[in-house]
Amino acid sequence: MIKVKRIRHVTFVTPDIDRQIDYYQTVVGLGVVTRDASRASLATDSDELAVVLQRGDQAACRRLTFEVAPDLDFADLVATLSRAGIAAEIQSDPLPGVSRSVLFRDFEEMEIELLAGPTFAVAEQPVGGIAADRLGHIALYTQDPLKASKFYGDVLNFRVSDWIEDAFVFMRCGFDHHSVNFARGPGRRLHHAAFELRDASHMHRACDLLGRKKMQILWGPVRHGPGHNVAIYHRDPDGHLIELFFDLDQMIDEELGYFEPRPWHRDRPQRPKVWVGLPRDIWGPVPSAELAEFKRKAT
């Protein structure tokens, strides 16, 4: 088993790379590190790559990149994956600041990339927009959430943090409640991408910026049940659902087996569980009619 430590960045295919670069610069608040006719990479104010954009025919989530321990040998990673029946390859100079990575695919052809240790990539200009702290999590549709939970658990050491009935699973690789989620749907594609903010003040500024840019908040602010993060949702120019959040649950000690106690938890202690029925959220509005329709069509 490979122990994934952190989610690092996500790669999107886009039919309009200039429009997406503008969105990530002026709304999410990332800085351009590299840019050519077919690809751009963008980093946070902490100089971590967060988003890679590739020109293509159809908007899609192409690749998730995770970090493993800095002392892991790439040949060993490939051998470990091979023993699990997964074909992997070592890439040289795949990204700015990254000399090598390992690339393979999950059981629904999502590309998974592993980097060893920290890397930093400095943007050409100071960031603007919301200046989100980092990529927080990626939620994907899958035909089989249980199979996805087993694959990411068995191969990459993700742990189940919560289920919503048998349709949506939240998985952690570090102490954050979730870095990947899987929702039952017709096939593998993006459910939403989430960027972390610092606090309520940062969220307030994000709402004001979305308002000034006339980008509709489709849901929230809401404090969720699973993960207990405070979240808002809007859509990027390619139609992807984007979440901005803060205050996500953390499991500091795996052996204790519960999330750090918070005043808004219903369960004391709050352990991983299956959430059944509504209402699930602690407070906040229900999703807008537009978002509810979007979800209905997706499933």
Do the beta carbons of residue 213 and residue 251 sit within 8 Å?
A: no
CB of 281 to Fe ion, least distance (A): 12
What is the nearest approach in angstroms of Fe ion to the Cβ of residue 153? 19
Using CB under 5 A, which of the segments 8-16, 30-38, 66-74, 187-195 binds Fe ion?
Answer: 187-195
Given the complex with Fe ion, which of 31 and 225 has the nearer CB atom?
225
Q: Does 249 bind Fe ion (CB under 5 A)?
A: no
194: contact with Fe ion by CB under 5 A? yes
Piece in contact with Fe ion (CB under 5 A), picked from 17-25, 93-101, 123-131, 194-202: 194-202
What distance in Å separates the CA atoms of residue 8 and residue 64, rounded to the nearest whole number?
8
Vertex 88: Cα angle to 111 and 189 (nearest 5): 15
From residue 36, give the alpha-carbon distance in Å to each of 21, 39, 246.
11, 5, 33
CB-based closest residue to Fe ion: 194
Residues 102-161 that bind Fe ion (CB under 5 A): none
Indicate the residue among 129 and 227 with the shorter CB distance to Fe ion.
227
Nearer to Fe ion, 243 or 249 (CB): 243
Q: Which is nearer to Fe ion, 81 or 173 (CB)?
A: 173
Give the span between the Cα atoms of 261 and 249, in whole angstroms: 9
Output 162 or 243, the one with its CB closest to Fe ion: 243
**Ordered alpha helix ranges (H), 42-95:** 74-83
Interaction pattern, residues 26-65, with Fe ion; x per rule: CB under 5 A: ----------------------------------------
Decide if 210 contacts 217 (C-beta within 8 A). Answer: yes
Q: Smaller CB distance to Fe ion: residue 17 or 169? A: 169
Smallest distance, Å, CB 219 to Fe ion?
11
Report the residue number, 173 or 194, with the smaller CB distance to Fe ion.
194
Residue 162 binding Fe ion, by CB under 5 A? no
**CA neighbor of 48 nearest in space, from 131, 120, 118, 141:** 120
Judged by CB, which is closer to Fe ion: 78, or 138?
138
Separation between Cα atoms, residue 95 and residue 99, nearest integer Å:
7
Q: What is the DSSP letter of 283?
A: B
114 and 173 Cβ atoms separated by less than 8 Å: no
Q: How far is the CB of 271 from Fe ion (least distance, A)?
A: 20
Q: Could you give the C-alpha distances from 153 to 4, 176, 228, 264, in angstroms and in order?
A: 10, 15, 22, 29
* In the complex, least distance from residue 74 CB atom to Fe ion, rounded to whole angstroms: 31
Size of the site for Fe ion (CB under 5 A): 2
174 three-state secondary structure: coil
Per-residue x/- marks for Fe ion, 214-243, CB under 5 A?
-----------------------------x
Q: 298 in helix, strand or coil? A: helix
Q: What is the number of H-type helices and E-type strands within the chain? A: 5, 17
Nearest in space to 98 (alpha carbons), one of 215, 9, 183 = 9
Q: Footprint of Fe ion on this chain (CB under 5 A)?
A: 194, 243
